[in-house]
C-alpha cells in the first residue's frame, strides 16, 4: 500500500466553483500557509456527467494538473454523494423514501437509495472512469469515496433487499419469528414477503422508538450493511485500476447510523470530520478522536474541521484566538496524521456560504483566521515526519458497540433520558481528566492486552462475549460495567434467569429491580468509608451473591442495599456500578479501579492540563495543552525540556495560557 510521506495539511477545495483566474491566486495564498494537500471532486458528479452518456473531464483535468505541478497531495473524491438531476428525471426510483414514507425528488445530498441498481450502475461507471484516468497519478495520495455516508431509505428496493438479508441471517421464517418475539401482539409472519420495513407506516412508533426492537435493530444493521456495500462497490472499482493508493471515506465520530467498527475492516485508513460546537466539552472532542483511532487501532486522517466557525449549528461561535491551533494539536495528540479543513475558500452561495474557510469572502490572506492557519501550517511543515504514524498505547479499553447503541435507545423504559454515548462519555471523562490513555474497542476485541476493560450499559450480550470477559477477568484483568448490562441477546430478547444475565456470575450480583428516577429525583448513598454521594436517572436494587458492597443507598425503600460492588473472580476483579453516580462518587469508584489494576496516568504529577503521549521508533512525544480558562503551571517533569513547536527551552517558571500548546520529546 502506498504511504503518505508527510503530514497532510489542506482541505476541501472547490475550484470548479470559481473562474480560473482565482486558481492561481489560491495557489499563491495557500503557499504562505505551507498547505500541501487538497481534497477535490467531492460533489462534482453533475459537472463531470452532464447527461446519461456524456462525460466531461476537461475541468477536473486542469485542476489535477495544476495541483500536481504545485506538488500537492491530492485527496481525490469520487463525487458520488449527490446525484445529478438527469438521473432523478429519468430514473425517479433512485431517490430515497424517508421514514414518513415519502419518495424524495432531486435535491440536497445523500439522496440515493443504496439498494437502487440504477444508482449502483452509474456509480460503478463513474468511479471506474475516474480510477482509470487518475489512478496512476503519483500525486493522488488518497481516494475519498462518497462523503459522510448516512441516512436511511424505506423504499420497495430496500424492503425487498431487507427480506433477502433476513433470509441469509435467519434461514427460516420460524427462526425470525422467535428472534423478534413476533408472538407478541399477534405479529407472526408466515412468508418472507409479509415483512415490512419499520418506518412510521409499519412498526415504528417514532424515529427513535419501536414496537419491536428486534426488527428495528436488524433494520439498522441492514442499512449500515447496505451503505457499506456501496462503499465496497466503489472501492473495488478503484482497485481495478489502482492497487496501491489508500481508500477511505469520511466518518462522523459517534454517529449513530453506521457500525463503524464493521466499516473500518473494509477501509485502508479511517478519516473523519470533527465539528464540535461552542460548548462541547474538550473531553468529548478527545473521545471522538480516540474512537476514530480505535476503529483500526492506528492513526487516522482528520478529513474536515473548520478553521473558524460552522454554519449549521444553532449557535456558530467563532474560534477564539489560539483555539484553532490547540484543537488541531489535540487532534494530532489523539492519533491524527493530517489536519484538513472544510473549506479552503468560502463559497459564495448555498447553505454553507457562512461556513468558515482558509480564505474568507474578502478573498485575501489579510485575516486573523488565515494568519492562524499559516502559523499552524509552518509549524507542521517544520516537524516534517517526526510524529507521522506515531502510535498510542493504553492500559484501559472502553467498549463501544453500535448494536448496544441502537438497542439501548430503542428500549421502551426504564428512563427516556438514558443515552448510550452520554454513558460512555462520563467514564471516558474520568480517564481524560486523569490523563490516562484509553483505547476504544469493539465487543469482540482481544481484551488480553489491557489491564482494565470498561463497558458501561452493556445492555446487549452477543455471541461469546460473556465467556471472553470471564477469561479476561479470571486471568487477572479488571472489568467495569453498570446498570442496564447483560439484559438482552442480539435480538433484544431478555436473558432469563435474573439480571445481569450472562454477566451475573462474573459480577457476583443479582439485580432484582431497576428503579427510574425523574429529573428532579435523587437517591443518597454512603460508601463504606462513610463518604456521602447521590444517584440519579437509574438505580438498581442489588442482592449480593459472591460480590462485596462498596456502599449502600441511604434513602428510598431500598435503603441499605448496595449501589456498587466488587467481585473477586479468578485472579481479577469485576466492578458493578448499579446507579448513575454523581461525578465525585464515580471518580471515587474509578480511582479504586485504577489502584486495583495498577493503572497510572501519562505523567504522575497532578495537572489541569491535557497531557497525551505518542511513540514512534522508540521516541516518545508529549502533547501538553491548556483547555482551561486560566493560565496553568508547567508540570515540573517537563522543566529543562524544549518545546519542539517554538524551539523554546522550558523552565520551572514556564506557564501555559489558555489554548497554549507544547510538544516535548521524552
User: Do the Cβ atoms of 370 and 33 come closer than 8 Å?
Assistant: yes
Classify the phi-psi angles of 148: left when phi > 0, otherwise alpha if psi is within -120 to 50, otherwise beta. Answer: left
Query: Which residues make beta-bridge pairs with 569?
Result: 572
Name the burial class of residue 60, with classes exposed (0-12), middle (13-18) and buried (19+) by CB atoms within 10 angstroms of its CB. buried
Residue spans of alpha helices (H) in 384-419: 402-410
Please count the other Cβ atoms lying within 10 Å of the Cβ belonging to residue 256: 14
Cell numbers 418472507 label which residue? 192
Q: How does DSSP assign 269-302, residue by residue?
A: S-EEE----TT--HHHHHHHHHHHHHHHTS-BEE
- How far is residue 517's CA from residue 365's CA, in Å, rounded to a whole number? 55
**What are the angstrom distances between the C-alpha of 571 and each of 164, 219, 603?**
46, 41, 28
Catalytic annotation, pick one of 73, 159, 304, 379:
304
Q: Is 156 a catalytic residue?
A: no
- How far is residue 281's CA from residue 261's CA, in Å, rounded to a whole number? 24
Output the nine-digit C-alpha cell for 443.
Answer: 465487543
Dmax of the chain from CA atoms? 77
Q: Is 304 a catalytic residue?
A: yes
Classify the phi-psi angles of 18: left when phi > 0, otherwise alpha if psi is within -120 to 50, otherwise beta. Answer: beta
User: Do the Cβ atoms of 482 and 586 come closer than 8 Å?
Assistant: no
Q: With H, G, I as helix, E, B as strand and everything else as coil, classify residue 580.
A: strand
- How far is residue 586's CA from residue 598's CA, in Å, rounded to a whole number? 18
Output the nine-digit C-alpha cell for 662.
Answer: 507544547
Buried b / exposed e over 130-165, threshold 16 CB at 10 Å, is bbeebbebebbbbbbbbbbbbbbbbbebbbebbbeb
- How far is residue 269's CA from residue 105's CA, in Å, rounded to a whole number? 34
Catalytic annotation, pick one of 73, 148, 152, 234:
148
Query: Which residues make beta-bridge pairs with 325?
Result: none
Residue spans of alpha helices (H) in 135-206: 156-170, 173-179
| Bond prior to 536 in cis (omega within 30° of 0) | no
Cell numbers 428500549 label which residue? 411
CA-nearest of 496, 416, 502, 493 to 213 is: 493
**Active centre residues (catalytic):** 148, 304
Amino acid at each position: 500500500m502506498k504511504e503518505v510521506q508527510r503530514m497532510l495539511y489542506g482541505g476541501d477545495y472547490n475550484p470548479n466553483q470559481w473562474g480560473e483566474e482565482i486558481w492561481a491566486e489560491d495557489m499563491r495564498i495557500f503557499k504562505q500557509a505551507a498547505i500541501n494537500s487538497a481534497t477535490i471532486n467531492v460533489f462534482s458528479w453533475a459537472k463531470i456527467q452532464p447527461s446519461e452518456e456524456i462525460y466531461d473531464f476537461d475541468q477536473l483535468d486542469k485542476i489535477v494538473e495544476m495541483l500536481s505541478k504545485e506538488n500537492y497531495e491530492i485527496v481525490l473524491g469520487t463525487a458520488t454523494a449527490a446525484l445529478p438531476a438527469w438521473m432523478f428525471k429519468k430514473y425517479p426510483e433512485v431517490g430515497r423514501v424517508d421514514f414518513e414514507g415519502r419518495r424524495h425528488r432531486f435535491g440536497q445530498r445523500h439522496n440515493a437509495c443504496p439498494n437502487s441498481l440504477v444508482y449502483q450502475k452509474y456509480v460503478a461507471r463513474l468511479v471506474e472512469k475516474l480510477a482509470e484516468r487518475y489512478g496512476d497519478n503519483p500525486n493522488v495520495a488518497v481516494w475519498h469515496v462518497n462523503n459522510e455516508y448516512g441516512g436511511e431509505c424505506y423504499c420497495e428496493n430496500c424492503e425487498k433487499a431487507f427480506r433477502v438479508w433476513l433470509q441469509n441471517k435467519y434461514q427460516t421464517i420460524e427462526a425470525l419469528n422467535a428472534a423478534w418475539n413476533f408472538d407478541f401482539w399477534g405479529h407472526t409472519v408466515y412468508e418472507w414477503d409479509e415483512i415490512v420495513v419499520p418506518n412510521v407506516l409499519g412498526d415504528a412508533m417514532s424515529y427513535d422508538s419501536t414496537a419491536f426492537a428486534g426488527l428495528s435493530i436488524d433494520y439498522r444493521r441492514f442499512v449500515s450493511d447496505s451503505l457499506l456495500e456501496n462503499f465496497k462497490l466503489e472501492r473495488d472499482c478503484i482497485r481495478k485500476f489502482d492497487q496501491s493508493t489508500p481508500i477511505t471515506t469520511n466518518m462522523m465520530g459517534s454517529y449513530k447510523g453506521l457500525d463503524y467498527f464493521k466499516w473500518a475492516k473494509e477501509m485502508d485508513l479511517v478519516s473523519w470530520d470533527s465539528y464540535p460546537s461552542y460548548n462541547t466539552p474538550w473531553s468529548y472532542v478527545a473521545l471522538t478522536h480516540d474512537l476514530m483511532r480505535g476503529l483500526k487501532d492506528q492513526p487516522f486522517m482528520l478529513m474536515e474541521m473548520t478553521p473558524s466557525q460552522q454554519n449549521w449549528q444553532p449557535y456558530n461561535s467563532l474560534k477564539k484566538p489560539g483555539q484553532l491551533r490547540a484543537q488541531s494539536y489535540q487532534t494530532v495528540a489523539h492519533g491524527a496524521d493530517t489536519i484538513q479543513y472544510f473549506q479552503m475558500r468560502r463559497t459564495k452561495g448555498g447553505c454553507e456560504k457562512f461556513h468558515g474557510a482558509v480564505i474568507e469572502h474578502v478573498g485575501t490572506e489579510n485575516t486573523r483566521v488565515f494568519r492562524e492557519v499559516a502559523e499552524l501550517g509552518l509549524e507542521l511543515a517544520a516537524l516534517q515526519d517526526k510524529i507521522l504514524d506515531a502510535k498510542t498505547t493504553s492500559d484501559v479499553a472502553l467498549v463501544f458497540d453500535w448494536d448496544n447503541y441502537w438497542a439501548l435507545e430503542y428500549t421502551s423504559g426504564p428512563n427516556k433520558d438514558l443515552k448510550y454515548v452520554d454513558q460512555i462519555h462520563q467514564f471516558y471523562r474520568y480517564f481524560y481528566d486523569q490523563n490516562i490513555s484509553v483505547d476504544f474497542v469493539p465487543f469482540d476485541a482481544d481484551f488480553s492486552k489491557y489491564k482494565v476493560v470498561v463497558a458501561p450499559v452493556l445492555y446487549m450480550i452477543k455471541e461469546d462475549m460473556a465467556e471472553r470477559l470471564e477469561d479476561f477477568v479470571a486471568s487477572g484483568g479488571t472489568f467495569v460495567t453498570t446498570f442496564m448490562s447483560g439484559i438482552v441477546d442480539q435480538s433484544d430478547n431478555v436473558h432469563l434467569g435474573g439480571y445481569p444475565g450472562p454477566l451475573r456470575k462474573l459480577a457476583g450480583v443479582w439485580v432484582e429491580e431497576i428503579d427510574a428516577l425523574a429529573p428532579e429525583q435523587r437517591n443518597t448513598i454512603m460508601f463504606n468509608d462513610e463518604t456521602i454521594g447521590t444517584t440519579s436517572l437509574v438505580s438498581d436494587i442489588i442482592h449480593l451473591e459472591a460480590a462485596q458492597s462498596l456502599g449502600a443507598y441511604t434513602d428510598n425503600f431500598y435503603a441499605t442495599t448496595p449501589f456498587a460492588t466488587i467481585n473477586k473472580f479468578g485472579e481479577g476483579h469485576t466492578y458493578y456500578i448499579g446507579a448513575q453516580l454523581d461525578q465525585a462518587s464515580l471518580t471515587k469508584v474509578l480511582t479504586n479501579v485504577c489502584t486495583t489494576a495498577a493503572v497510572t496516568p501519562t505523567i504522575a504529577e497532578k495537572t489541569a492540563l491535557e497531557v497525551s503521549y505518542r511513540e514512534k521508533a522508540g521516541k516518545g512525544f508529549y502533547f501538553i495543552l491548556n483547555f482551561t480558562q486560566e493560565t496553568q503551571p508547567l508540570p515540573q517533569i517537563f522543566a529543562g525540556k524544549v518545546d519542539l513547536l517554538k524551539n523554546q527551552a522550558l523552565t520551572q517558571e514556564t506557564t501555559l495560557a489558555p489554548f497554549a500548546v507544547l510538544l516535548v520529546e521524552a
